[in-house]
């Protein structure tokens, strides 16, 4: 069964969020999971993924310099 573009983007968002949580040693929050799950617009999912990846990148940069 082929996944839709929306479902693939949601999977990418979940993965990016879990990677961030792992890096910052934080338990994933239900409200963020629900935001991803309830999103039905590709543009908004792309924005969510971009924000998560930026936060992860900023965290990694900050911790490398410490």
Low pLDDT (below 50) residues in the chain: none
Rounded CA Rg of the chain: 13
**Calpha distance 52→40 (Å, rounded):** 18
For residue 21, the model assigns a pLDDT of 97
**Cα atoms in the Cβ-side hemisphere of radius 13 Å centred on 53:** 9
For residue 66, the model assigns a pLDDT of 61
Q: In degrees, to the nearest 5, what angle opens at C-alpha 11 toward C-alphas 54 and 42?
A: 70
pTM given for the model: 0.88
For residue 1, the model assigns a pLDDT of 60
Query: For residues 11, 26, 29 and 59, what is the CA-based torsion angle, rounded to 10 degrees?
Result: -60
């Amino acid at each position: 069964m082929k996944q839709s573009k929306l479902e693939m983007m949601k999977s990418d968002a979940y993965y990016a969020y879990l990677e961030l949580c792992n890096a910052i040693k934080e338990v994933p929050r239900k409200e963020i999971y629900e935001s991803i799950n309830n999103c039905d617009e590709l543009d908004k999912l792309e924005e969510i993924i971009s924000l998560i990846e930026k936060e992860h990148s900023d965290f990694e940069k900050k911790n490398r310099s410490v």
